[in-house]
Chain A
Amino acid sequence: MANISISRVKREFAEVVKSEEAKRCGICIKMLNENNFTKLLGEITGPPDTPYEGGKFLVDIEIPDSYPFNPPKMKFITRIWHPNISSVTGAICLDILKDNWAAALTLRTVLMSLQVLLSAAEPDDPQDAVVAKQYNENIHLFMKTARHWSEAYAKARPIKTQDFHEKVRKLSETGFSDDSCRTALSKSGWDEQRGMETLLDS
C-alpha cells in the first residue's frame, strides 16, 4: 500500500501549498528532506483572540506506510501550554488523530483541526493533567501562562507577560535552564518559592 500512501501525500501536499484558505489561516507544510514524503513539518499560526495569537507552532508529521488507512502521527515540536497537548513531549490528544480518523480527512483538514483545538480546548479530555487543572481552576492564570509560553517558544510578540519573563530570568540565576525554570513556575502557579521546590524535587 506504500504507493497509495506516497501518491496521496503528494496530492495533499500540493493541495495545502495552493490552498488559499490554508494561506489565510496561516497553515503551511514543508518537506524535511527533499522528496521524502514520510516526514513532514507543519506550521500553524496561533488563532486570533487566544493566548496563542501570532505564535508560529511547528508540528512534526510522520506519514505511516498504511496512510490513509491509518492516521498520520503528529506532535508539536514547538513547546506549548495547552490542556490537550503535553507540555513535555508535545503529544496531542485529538480524537481524529486516533480512533476517529477517517480517510476523508487530509493533512490540511487535520492541521486546521489543530488550529481549532488551540482556540477551543477540551479540558475534560486532557493530555496534560497539570495544565488542565490550571485551566479549570484559574483560567486567567492559564491564559497568561499560555501567552507567556507562546512568547517564549513560538515567537509571539512579547507584550503582556513581562513579569513572567522576569521571574524566569531570576529563577534561572540559580543555574537551572530557562526551560526547566519556566516549566516549574508554570506548574506551580508562578509562585517562586514553590517553583524552586518543584525544580529541586525533580
Chain B
Amino acid sequence: MRIALPESGLLSQAKIECDWKLKNILSNYKQVIQQKLEKAANLIQFMKEFKNLLEESYKVKLGTTSGIDDAFSLSFKEILPQLDDIGWENVDNIDDLFTSIRLVKRDLKSRHHYINTRFLQEEEICTPVFTTDLPIPLHLPKAKYQSLKFSIKESYHYFCEAIELCQAFFDVMDEIDKNTWVLEPQKASRASKERRFCLGKNISVQIDVNPYYPSTIPQYRFFGTDHNVSLLKQKLNNNLQLWNERKSLLTNLQKILEISIPSPTNSQKEEFITPCGICCGYRLNATLPDKVCDYSLCEKQFHSLCLLEWLKTLPSSRTSFSVIHGQCPYCKKPLNHYKLGSNCGYEFCDVNGLLGIGMVYKIQQH
C-alpha cells in the first residue's frame, strides 16, 4: 500500500493506493477511512488506526465465511449418504445453503406428499425441524430424532408409514374435491381436514374429517337459512343409524340427508354461490358469505362482518344481550345476528369419539 501526500501536506487530501486484495477488503470502509484521514493528527496516528480497522474487517470477513463452510460441510457429510439411500428421484428441492430439503413421496394413487426438513443451526448443535403436509402429526422417537445421523432417512420412513395410514383419508378428500363444489378452503393442502361444499342453492355444509377414521360421521356445520338447516339436521338425526362405514362419506351423506349433492359434472358453480348482498364480493378476508336471510323469498347471502356492520348502522336495530335484531337490507324482514360472531362452532356428532382417541394413543406408542 502506498500513501501519497499532496503538496499542501493536508492528510485529508492524501491518496491511498493498494493491490486488489486489500482493496476488496477495504471496499466497505471507504467512508470510515476518509473520516480517519480527516481526524488523524499525523500520519503515524492514522497508520495505527488503519491497522486496527484492517484487523477488525478481516475478522468479520473470516467469521462469516467459515460459519457457512462449517454448516455446509457438516450437513453435506451426514446428509448425502442418506439421500443416496432414499433415492434421488424422491428429492424434490434443496436450497442453496443446504439448510432445507424437501422430499416427495408418490403414493399408489400417484398423489404427491411432501416432507420438508429444515436444519436449525444453534451454535454447535444442528437440529432438524420437520414439516409435512399430512393431516396427522408425525411421531418420531425423540432420542433418535435429535441426531443428525438419524434424521432424514428415518423420518422419511415414518413419513411413508403415515401416508399409508392416511390412504383412506386421502381417498375421501379426493372424492369430495372431485364430486362437489368446494367453497373452502380455496386451495386445500393435503393436510387440510376441513371442507365446506354446496348442498344446494344457498345451503352448504362444512365437515371436519377424522384422518384416522375417515368413513365415520365427520364433525359438521350447516350454513344456510334456519329453515333449511333445521330440515337437514332433522333428517340427519332421523337417519343416523343408516350410516354405513363401508360406503364412502359422500354416498352416506347423500343417503342420510336425502339429497343429491350438486357436482361439477351436472351444474355450474354460479347456481349455488351468490356474492354478499352488502359488499357485493365473494370473499371478504378470505371468507365466503355465511349468513342468509331467513325469509324464503329473499334468502340473500351476507358476510357476517358486513351484516353486523349494517345492523349496527341501522337506527332501528335493537340489541339484547349479544344478539342484534334488525332488518334485512333487501326484504326488510326481521333478521338477527350474534354480536361477536359467536354462532360458530361445530355440532358434535362423535359417536365413535372414544375409538378415535384410542387410535391416537396407539400411534404414539408405535
A binds B: yes
Give the shortest distance, in Å, between A29 (CB) and chain B (any CB). 15
CB atoms of B284 and A103 under 8 A apart: no
Cross-interface CB contact of A8 among B281, B309, B312, B315, cutoff 8 Å: B281
CB atoms of B330 and A102 under 8 A apart: yes
Once bound together, how far apart are the Cα atoms of A22 and B8, in whole Å?
83
CB atoms of A4 and B284 under 8 A apart: yes
CB atoms of A104 and B330 under 8 A apart: yes
Once bound together, how far apart are the Cα atoms of A4 and B284, in whole Å?
8
CB atoms of B278 and A103 under 8 A apart: yes
Which of chain A's residues has its CB closest to B279's CB? A4
A171-182 CB mask vs B (1 if < 8 Å, else 0) is 000000000000
Q: Tell me, yes or no, whether A1 is within 8 Å of chain B by CB.
A: yes
CB atoms of B277 and A103 under 8 A apart: yes
A100-119 CB mask vs B (1 if < 8 Å, else 0) is 00111010000000000000
Q: How many residues of B contact A (CB 8 A)?
A: 16
List residues 180-223 of chain B with CB under 8 A from any CB of chain A.
none
CB atoms of B277 and A104 under 8 A apart: yes
With A102-B330, A103-B329, A104-B330: A11-B310 Cβ-Cβ less than 8 Å:
no
Question: Contacts of B280 on A, CB cut-off 8 Å?
Answer: 7-8, 11-12, 106
Once bound together, how far apart are the Cα atoms of A7 and B281, in whole Å?
8
CB atoms of B281 and A69 under 8 A apart: no
Question: Contacts of B310 on A, CB cut-off 8 Å?
Answer: 69, 103
List residues 21-75 of chain A with CB under 8 A from any CB of chain B.
66, 68-70
With A4-B284, A69-B313: A102-B279 Cβ-Cβ less than 8 Å:
no
Give the shortest distance, in Å, between A16 (CB) and chain B (any CB). 13
Question: Contacts of B281 on A, CB cut-off 8 Å?
Answer: 7-8, 11
CB atoms of B329 and A8 under 8 A apart: no
List residues 315-361 of chain B with CB under 8 A from any CB of chain A.
315, 329-330, 332
Q: Tell me, yes or no, whether B126 is within 8 Å of chain A by CB.
A: no
Once bound together, how far apart are the Cα atoms of A12 and B278, in whole Å?
11
Once bound together, how far apart are the Cα atoms of A68 and B302, in whole Å?
13
B85-101 CB mask vs A (1 if < 8 Å, else 0) is 00000000000000000
Q: How large is the interface on A (under 10, 10 to 19, 20 to 34, 35 or more residues)?
A: 10 to 19
Q: Tell me, yes or no, whether B240 is within 8 Å of chain A by CB.
A: no
Question: Contacts of B315 on A, CB cut-off 8 Å?
Answer: 99
Once bound together, how far apart are the Cα atoms of A103 and B326, in whole Å?
13
Once bound together, how far apart are the Cα atoms of A54 and B281, in whole Å?
36
Give the shortest distance, in Å, between A98 (CB) and chain B (any CB). 11
Q: Tell me, yes or no, whether B83 is within 8 Å of chain A by CB.
A: no
Cross-interface CB contact of B329 among A7, A66, A104, cutoff 8 Å: A104
Q: Tell me, yes or no, whether B40 is within 8 Å of chain A by CB.
A: no
Question: Contacts of B172 on A, CB cut-off 8 Å?
Answer: none
Q: Tell me, yes or no, whether B306 is within 8 Å of chain A by CB.
A: yes
Question: Contacts of B312 on A, CB cut-off 8 Å?
Answer: 69
CB atoms of A7 and B279 under 8 A apart: yes
Once bound together, how far apart are the Cα atoms of A156 and B279, in whole Å?
37
Question: Contacts of A8 on B, CB cut-off 8 Å?
Answer: 278-281
A1-17 CB mask vs B (1 if < 8 Å, else 0) is 10010011001100000
Give the shortest distance, in Å, between B290 (CB) and chain A (any CB). 16
Give the shortest distance, in Å, between B325 (CB) and chain A (any CB). 17
CB atoms of B330 and A70 under 8 A apart: no
Give the shortest distance, in Å, between A84 (CB) and chain B (any CB). 23
Give the shortest distance, in Å, between A123 (CB) and chain B (any CB). 27
Which of chain A's residues has its CB closest to B303's CB? A4
Question: Contacts of A70 on B, CB cut-off 8 Å?
Answer: 313
Once bound together, how far apart are the Cα atoms of A103 and B279, in whole Å?
8
Which of chain B's residues has its CB closest to A9's CB? B280
CB atoms of A102 and B329 under 8 A apart: yes
List residues 289-322 of chain B with CB under 8 A from any CB of chain A.
300, 306, 309-310, 312-313, 315
| Cβ contacts A to B, 7 pairs, < 8 Å | A7-B280, A8-B280, A69-B312, A69-B313, A103-B329, A104-B329, A104-B330
* Extra contacts besides A4-B279, A68-B279, A70-B313 (10): CB < 8 Å: A4-B306, A4-B309, A7-B279, A7-B280, A8-B281, A68-B278, A69-B310, A103-B278, A104-B277, A104-B329
B residues at A contact (CB < 8 Å): 277-281, 284, 300, 306, 309-310, 312-313, 315, 329-330, 332
A residues at B contact (CB < 8 Å): 1, 4, 7-8, 11-12, 66, 68-70, 99, 102-104, 106
Q: Lowest 9 CB-CB distances: which A-B pairs, in order? A: A103-B329, A69-B313, A104-B330, A102-B329, A103-B278, A11-B280, A4-B279, A104-B329, A8-B280
